[in-house]
Amino acid sequence: MLLVACRVGSPMRTFVVVKAVFSRFALWVSEAAGTPLAFGLAFLTIVVWAVTGPIFGFSDSWQLVINTGTTIVTFLMVFLIQATTNRESRALHLKVDELIRAQRHARNIFADLEHATDEELAELQGEFRRIRARAEARKETRTAPPSH
């Protein structure tokens, strides 16, 4: 399907198809990489590499194999995990935005807050610090022993 879309589809359609395939692949790899089986295979690879050290005389080429392999896997995993993280973060933001929108007394300015400027975020953070300080002051007043 991907090849057909690339041959007959418009560039935009091709991009959408490739993006969808990448998204599914990134999610699958992210889920697979976090399993005990994946850890076991990675650990087994290291053990096999270490055991073959004496066979290859711990040569530079022997070391280069593991260095190159781990560098390639790490490089590719960064992009796949980042894509999955971005997707999950976007979904979480949408869920929180819906909860904010559904609450009658919530301020809707908090929906889509991830797109606020640093100054706007700092202003809201200051507001919540002041609210917390007032709440702590009220709590201390209520729990203070009565003076006689």
Handedness of CA 2, 76, 52, 44 (dihedral sign): negative
CB of 97 within 8 A of CB of 112?
yes
Residue 143 lies in a domain: no
How confident is the model over 83-134, as pLDDT tens digits? 889 989 989 988 988 888 888 888 888 888 888 899 999 999 999 899 999 9
How far is residue 60's CA from residue 68's CA, in Å, rounded to a whole number? 12
DSSP state of 1: -
Residue 84 lies in a domain: yes
Q: How many CB atoms lie within 10 A of CB 49?
A: 16
CB of 53 within 8 A of CB of 46?
no
How far is residue 82's CA from residue 89's CA, in Å, rounded to a whole number? 10
Counting the structural domains of the chain, the total is 1
Domain that holds residue 71: 2-111
Residue 81 lies in a domain: yes
Closest CA to 18 of 28, 3, 33: 3
Residue 24 lies in a domain: yes
How confident is the model over 103-116, as pLDDT tens digits? 888 888 888 888 88
Whole-structure pTM value: 0.60
Residue 10 lies in a domain: yes
How confident is the model over 11-63, as pLDDT tens digits? 888 888 888 898 888 888 888 988 999 999 999 999 999 999 999 999 999 99
Residue 137 lies in a domain: no
Residue 129 lies in a domain: no
Residue 31 lies in a domain: yes
